[in-house]
Structure 1
Amino acid sequence: MIALPDTLRVFERGWLSANNVLFIDDATQDTTLVDTGYVTHAAQTVALVENALDGRPLRRVINTHLHSDHCGGNAALQARWQPVTSIPAAEAPAVSIWDDDALSFVATGQQCTRFTFDDVLRDGDTLCLGGIDWQVIAAPGHDPHAVMLFAPQSRILISGDALWENGFGVIFPELDGESGFAEQAAILDCIDTLDARIVIPGHGRVFDDVAQAVTRARSRLEYLRSDPLRNATHAIRVLVKFKLLEAQTISREDLFAWFAGTPLMQRVRARYVAAQSMEAVFDQAMKALAKVGALVRDGEMVSNRD
């Protein structure tokens, strides 16, 4: 069991919703939630937070980045408590006018209820959360605008999707021909220099084998970097799996309609496998997910399998 400060607790949420990190410090009356899960889990997020707060108000929400599984509970939490909400600075213009395209929700075929923000997070900022000082560190790669939070004294890193125990999030910028591999490599180097002893990732369990996790992440990155089609193929499968996590059971017809109508799927196919039909790309993803037991077919119905 990895010991964390008394003012910090982690809700490990699985893969549809990102993990939530809740700070409660009665000495400073600080109650802050980092990342808020997916919109279909919003009621559960509110219930988890409300139970842990035990009558206290939630005063602040922070998002490491604005992918739907990290900010989908923002609107529900704002409706319940009106917390001050802090987002990465580069996302402020898109959130201000609610540009679904710029915010990736339309591109990935995912949902997010509109929310507002009160201030922004910039590389080099310092925050006091749970009576602990945290540095804001820019963490591009998986998402160009993402940030991490690092507590130098306790050597705890809230890494978002920049580092998991066994990898990191899809390198989305590369799917559109933009740089992402180099940035991911640089952020792994940065994590190395931090000498963190504990990592709270965006997905998966809290871990303390940090050096080994960075080594595994570097190996994974080189594998993807050596053939960018691998990153694209992985992204397709991840997005289909995410849709299945959301729907649980869906007809093949409806799943393919979602797949074919998702802009990022269309762009990935055009860039990487233009010679194949959209249906062929879809069938390949379905077969790959079925092979590893991530979905099951029953006639025309497709169901998620954990």
Structure 2
Amino acid sequence: MPFDTDRLPSWLVWQQRPFPDANLLLLPGRQPALVDSGFVGHAEETASWVRAHTASLSLVVNTHWHCDHVGGNALLQRNGAGIAASARDALAVARRDPGCCQMEYLDQPVPPYSVDELLDDGQVLLLGDTEWEVIRTPGHTPGHLALWHPDERLLAVGDALSDYDVGWVNLALDGPDATTTALDSVHHLIDLDPRVLLPAHGPIPADTGAALANAARRAQRLVDDPDGAVWYGARRVFAYALMIRDGIPTDAVEPYLHARAWLKDAAWLLRRSPESLATDLITTMLTAGSIVSRNGKLHAAAEHTPVPPSSLRQPPPSTWPAVDAAHLP
């Protein structure tokens, strides 16, 4: 049974979006705010959707810095919105660190942006006409945040969990305890006893308690099976790569994978060669039906929206324009 949208307050606007975008949560009012901004290839659509629901936008709050959550930041910032993000993400963006947004590591495009407001655990934000509490939820990324509205018991969870899964965890970049950190974050969210979960991907769960219990089980499995956690991340990153590129020619897929830093790290953690891991990754995902071969290309099987190829051509963070004093966190 799908979620009954009548359970949502009238003062928020929600849009579920297929990959490669994150869902949109808009809080119109005194300080119109948007939670996450989607993929760069659909930034104009995001901006148009925002304009259809509010005359202005004061703030974009990023749950974390992956490309499907910050891709509209640059356009919305040029249009006058400020950007708020976790202190960890904000400082790296201000320094223009090469690792910003894991853009080069994951081979996922992000246009240059700056962060205007640093967020930390327990901070209270006025979003629209209502106050939301910032909740640190590291795991999927170290700087991941959730947003909590205690009066209505609404919880915007980003990629910490969804109706069908939990966020993948990067053991290579974030260390062997990253899965335990992610599990702790899930339990922290459970302890809040939310009435409604607002995930960044997929539908709003109809049964909040069941979704949280399922997320706890899935997160525990990642702790119990580190190799499985690595495989899970590799499958998710590869499927996303296929989505944003409208597939990759079959004869180019393995060379593409061999050149990826994330695959090399996964191979090291799994005590494999990158070449053998790439071959097995393709074979197992074809067998499972999560990718398909069609017209000489491999494609992701999950529903996704086409991306203009030109949007993939974004400069690396180390070459982004320097942050001026007005945008220093």
| TM-score calculated relative to the size of structure 1 | 0.91
> Does the aligned pair in 1 maintain the 2:230–2:269 contact within 8 Å?
no
Secondary structure, counterpart of 2:32 in structure 1 = strand
Aligned ranges for residues 179-198 of structure 1 at < 5 Å? Answer: 179-198=177-196
The one-letter code sitting in structure 1 at the alignment partner of 2:69 is H
> Does the aligned pair in 2 maintain the 1:176–1:268 contact within 8 Å?
no
Secondary structure, counterpart of 1:154 in structure 2 = coil
Aligned ranges for residues 146-185 of structure 1 at < 5 Å? Answer: 146-173=144-171, 177-185=175-183
The one-letter code sitting in structure 1 at the alignment partner of 2:258 is A
Deviation digits for residues 120-146 of structure 1 (CA, Å, limit 9, x no counterpart): 111010012232211101001111111
1:57 paired residue number? 56
C-alpha RMSD of matched pairs (Å): 1.7
CA distance in structure 1 between the partners assigned to 2:95 and 2:187 by the alignment: 35
CA distance in structure 1 between the partners assigned to 2:134 and 2:74 by the alignment: 23
1:48 paired residue number? 49
Are positions 1:279 and 2:275 aligned together?
yes
Secondary structure, counterpart of 1:166 in structure 2 = coil
Structure with the larger RCO, 1 or 2 (CA within 8 Å, 6+ apart): 2
Are positions 1:91 and 2:89 aligned together?
yes
CA distance in structure 1 between the partners assigned to 2:276 and 2:295 by the alignment: 19
2:77 paired residue number? 78
Quote how far apart the aligned CAs of 1:208 are: 4.4
The one-letter code sitting in structure 2 at the alignment partner of 1:72 is G
Percent same amino acid at aligned positions?
Answer: 28
2:13 paired residue number? 9
Deviation digits for residues 266-304 of structure 1 (CA, Å, limit 9, x no counterpart): 111112133xx3232112222222223232224642233
Aligned ranges for residues 115-264 of structure 1 at < 5 Å? Answer: 115-173=113-171, 177-264=175-262
The one-letter code sitting in structure 2 at the alignment partner of 1:146 is H
Aligned length: 298
Quote how far apart the aligned CAs of 1:97 are: 2.6
> Does the aligned pair in 2 maintain the 1:174–1:181 contact within 8 Å?
no
The one-letter code sitting in structure 2 at the alignment partner of 1:77 is L
| TM-score calculated relative to the size of structure 2 | 0.85
Quote how far apart the aligned CAs of 1:245 are: 0.9
Quote how far apart the aligned CAs of 1:230 are: 0.3
In structure 2, relative to structure 1, the CA distance for the partners of 1:4 and 1:298 (3 Å cut) is closer
> Does the aligned pair in 2 maintain the 1:61–1:85 contact within 8 Å?
yes
CA distance in structure 1 between the partners assigned to 2:235 and 2:164 by the alignment: 17
Quote how far apart the aligned CAs of 1:50 are: 2.2
Deviation digits for residues 90-124 of structure 1 (CA, Å, limit 9, x no counterpart): 11221113223243111111111110111111101
CA distance in structure 1 between the partners assigned to 2:120 and 2:43 by the alignment: 27
CA distance in structure 2 between the partners assigned to 1:173 and 1:287 by the alignment: 23
2:27 paired residue number? 23
The one-letter code sitting in structure 1 at the alignment partner of 2:32 is T
Of residues 273, 284, 288 in structure 2, which corresponds to 1:288?
284
Unaligned runs of 5+ residues in structure 2 are 303-329
In structure 2, relative to structure 1, the CA distance for the partners of 1:96 and 1:225 (3 Å cut) is same
In structure 2, relative to structure 1, the CA distance for the partners of 1:57 and 1:114 (3 Å cut) is same
Secondary structure, counterpart of 1:7 in structure 2 = coil
Quote how far apart the aligned CAs of 1:221 are: 1.9
Secondary structure, counterpart of 1:273 in structure 2 = coil
The one-letter code sitting in structure 2 at the alignment partner of 1:116 is S
Deviation digits for residues 242-286 of structure 1 (CA, Å, limit 9, x no counterpart): 011101232124333332222121111112133xx3232112222
Unaligned runs of 5+ residues in structure 1 are none
> Does the aligned pair in 1 maintain the 2:187–2:216 contact within 8 Å?
no
1:304 paired residue number? 300
CA distance in structure 2 between the partners assigned to 1:175 and 1:241 by the alignment: 20
